[in-house]
Amino acid sequence: LTHHSDIKEALIISKDITPNDKQLVAYLVSEEDKQPSVNTLRNHLKQTLPNYMIPAYFVFLDKLPLTPNGKLNRKALPEPDLTRSGSQNNFVPPRSPMEESISGIWSEILGIAVIGIHDNFFDLGGHSLMATQVISRIRNLSGQDISIITMFKLPTISGMAEHLDSLSKT
């Protein structure tokens, strides 16, 4: 992250976001008046890192908290905002019962209260084990048998809902 021209300091830590689920959280200090978007930073990281190494949450700070001795004060780091993932997509709420159902499943599994239909499951901190939980719940909900590959190909609520609707019409 510090290789990005707009980032002055960065710290990545693993935090328990939901029970039994650790996620990477990036704490960032940007150059003065140059705070990049979360999507810009994710795209920057995707050029050199595998998806599992890209933080799920990005927290911008004015400065990293220090102890009186000048060392990093990890206890003073704020918790990431779990109501939104930091996604910079224009938020579009669910528009159909199927999108509502999928959104509810994602919210429970990801521990994020508000998810737009165009947000990417994996950019929100989802990983393959969580994806299998989503698939299992969608299978129970819709009766449709979908594969993990479908989840990787259609990582948005809108994409998955359209796919399930097309399956139910055949």
pLDDT score, position 38? 84
pLDDT tens digits in sequence order for the chain, 170 residues long: 989 999 999 999 988 876 667 788 999 999 988 888 888 898 899 899 887 788 888 899 999 999 999 999 999 999 887 665 445 456 788 999 999 999 999 999 988 888 999 988 988 888 888 999 999 999 998 888 899 999 999 999 999 999 998 887 76
Beta strands in 40-132 (DSSP E): 57-60
Q: Quote the CA–CA distance of 68 and 53 in Å, as a whole number.
A: 32
Evaluate whether 133 touches 109 at the Cβ level (below 8 Å): yes
Burial code (b: 16+ CB inside 10 Å, e: under 16) for 67-80 equals eeeeeeeeeebeeb
Does this model's pTM top 0.75? no
When computed from its CA atoms, the radius of gyration of the chain, rounded to whole angstroms, is 18
